[in-house]
């Protein structure tokens, strides 16, 4: 179901208010969890199916970023409150908020465990996923925001197909949060009251076997259910209408049979008219009957020979056309390679050792191309470069 396409069984299940092989909600009042029952069993089942399909597309996007098999499946939909949710997290976690800017009105919040974020970001930066020591930094939050942007963008594409409308999202914002130390309203206003919690099982190779939470406002969940219901009904109606063949028009009554007559001999075919050659001698024939084939005259190509000074003159005229084009001249003192950790440790006073030896000529580049060597000079209050060697290829 990761491709966002519903099968016929799933369409029938959504229209009838259920998901194949899905367990019914716990309470008979039309909801689940401890928050009360604002959603019916049918709506909870529909939300679970929509989340399963959209997160299947999101898992494909995450796989492209980390290059390791990713599975996000088995959604469990419940209604809950912020206090109930926060009580399940004893450690800090990363909260990612994504708003919907087109198609549907509202936002959703993703909750990921701190270690899962470290694994994902390490894989995104070319690691093997085991560099999870230390605290979550701004680099981790920036990387996981980009990952969620890719994932939820793919999820929005699946939602567009299922809801029959264009769905778009805003750039995600990620924060490291202790859920027990804040109120839900500090993250998003819909978390102040009852909301929908969708718990996904997330597996990333052999590195992550965890759970990810997606939180929806009740109003957004109902809006999505209504949109899915309308889309499925319209698709079913279109399929039925296309399958009804128009009734054939009544056949015309056959003409009355004539009274039987004695069988007459079959008529003899008239002989073909004979062409008189003498009669056609003075007539003009149509032109297409005797159009002659055109004669094609093929000759070798003739080129004007170039004079002795043609090349130099031509090159000079062309270079004159671009003499006023500006070029970027860069003087490179030296280079070095540093890890991301080294760069994050930069501070005023940090010394960076380059690959050039003191007194060695510096490099002069034009538009990034190495063209000369030189030495640094001081001209009044400015630095300059004295060219000592032109690099010839």
Q: What is the pTM of this model?
A: 0.54
| 343/230 same-domain check | no
Greater confidence (67 vs 26) lies with 67
145 domain residue, yes or no: yes
Structure tokens at 356: 């050039």
Sort 321 into a burial class: Cβ within 10 Å, 0-12 / 13-18 / 19+.
Answer: exposed
Q: Which of 235, 260, 277 is the last residue of a domain?
A: 235
Q: What is the CATH number of the domain that holds 352?
A: 2.30.330.10
| 76/220 same-domain check | yes
Q: How confident is the model at residue 90 (pLDDT cuts 50, 70, 90)?
A: confident
| 231/327 same-domain check | no
Q: What is the CATH number of the domain that holds 16?
A: 3.40.1550.10
276 domain residue, yes or no: no
Inform me whether the pLDDT recorded for 59 exceeds 70.
yes
43 DSSP 8-state letter: H
Q: Return the number of other C-beta atoms located less than 10 Å from residue 182's C-beta.
A: 15
* Mean local confidence (pLDDT), 321-349: 85
| 231/328 same-domain check | no
CA distance 141 to 128: 18
Q: What is the pLDDT of residues 351-373, one digit of tens each?
A: 888 888 888 899 999 888 889 99
Inform me whether the pLDDT recorded for 189 exceeds 80.
yes
* Mean local confidence (pLDDT), 161-186: 90
Greater confidence (245 vs 195) lies with 195
Inform me whether the pLDDT recorded for 209 exceeds 90.
yes
Number of domains in the chain: 2
Q: Give the model's pLDDT for residue 78.
A: 92
Of the listed ranges 62-66, 71-75, 321-325, the one predicted with least confidence: 321-325
* Mean local confidence (pLDDT), 227-237: 79
Full residue range of the structural domain in which residue 332 is found: 323-390
Q: Give the model's pLDDT for residue 119.
A: 93
Q: What is the pLDDT of residues 256-300, one digit of tens each?
A: 554 445 445 555 555 555 555 554 444 554 444 445 556 666 667
The Cα angle at residue 42 between residues 199 and 104, in degrees rounded to 5: 70
Inform me whether the pLDDT recorded for 191 exceeds 70.
yes
Exposure string of 86-109, with b = 16+ CB inside 10 Å and e = fewer, is beebeebbbbbbbebeebbebbbb
352 domain residue, yes or no: yes
| 216/327 same-domain check | no
Q: Which of 191, 215, 235 is the last residue of a domain?
A: 235
309 domain residue, yes or no: no
Inform me whether the pLDDT recorded for 195 exceeds 90.
yes
Q: Which of 206, 235, 264 is the last residue of a domain?
A: 235
């Amino acid at each position: 179901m990761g491709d966002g396409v519903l099968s016929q069984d799933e369409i029938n299940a959504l229209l009838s208010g259920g998901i194949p092989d899905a367990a019914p909600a716990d309470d008979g009042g039309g909801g689940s969890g401890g928050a009360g029952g604002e959603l019916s069993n049918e709506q909870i089942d529909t939300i679970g199916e929509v989340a399963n399909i959209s997160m299947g597309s999101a898992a494909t996007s995450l796989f492209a970023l980390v290059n390791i098999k990713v599975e996000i499946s088995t959604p469990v939909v419940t209604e809950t409150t912020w206090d109930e949710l926060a009580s399940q997290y004893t450690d800090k976690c990363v909260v990612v908020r994504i708003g919907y800017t087109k198609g549907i009105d509202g936002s959703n919040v993703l909750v990921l465990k701190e270690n899962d974020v470290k694994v994902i970001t390490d894989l995104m930066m070319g690691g093997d996923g085991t560099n999870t020591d230390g605290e979550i930094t701004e680099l981790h939050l920036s990387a996981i925001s980009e990952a969620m942007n890719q994932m939820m963008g793919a999820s929005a594409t699946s939602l567009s197909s299922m809801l029959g409308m264009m769905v778009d999202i805003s750039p995600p914002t990620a924060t490291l949060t202790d859920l027990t130390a804040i109120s839900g309203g500090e993250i998003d206003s819909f978390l102040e009251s009852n909301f929908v919690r969708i718990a996904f099982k997330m597996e990333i190779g052999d590195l992550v076997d965890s759970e990810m939470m997606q939180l929806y406002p009740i109003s957004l969940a109902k809006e999505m259910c209504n949109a899915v219901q309308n889309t499925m009904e319209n698709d079913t109606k279109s399929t039925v209408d296309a399958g009804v063949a128009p009734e054939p028009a009544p056949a015309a009554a056959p003409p009355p049979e004539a009274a039987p007559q004695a069988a007459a001999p079959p008529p003899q075919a008239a002989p073909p008219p004979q062409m008189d050659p003498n009669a056609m001698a003075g007539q003009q024939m149509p032109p297409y009957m005797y159009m002659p084939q055109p004669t094609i005259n093929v000759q070798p190509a003739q080129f004007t020979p170039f004079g002795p000074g043609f090349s130099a003159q031509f090159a000079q005229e062309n270079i004159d056309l671009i003499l006023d084009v500006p070029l970027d001249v860069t003087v490179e003192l030296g280079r070095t390679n540093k890890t991301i950790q080294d760069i994050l440790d930069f501070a005023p006073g940090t010394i960076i050792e380059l690959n050039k030896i003191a007194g060695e000529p510096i490099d002069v580049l034009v538009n990034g191309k190495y063209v000369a060597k030189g030495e640094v000079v001081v001209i009044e209050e400015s630095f300059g470069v004295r060219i000592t060697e032109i690099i010839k290829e």
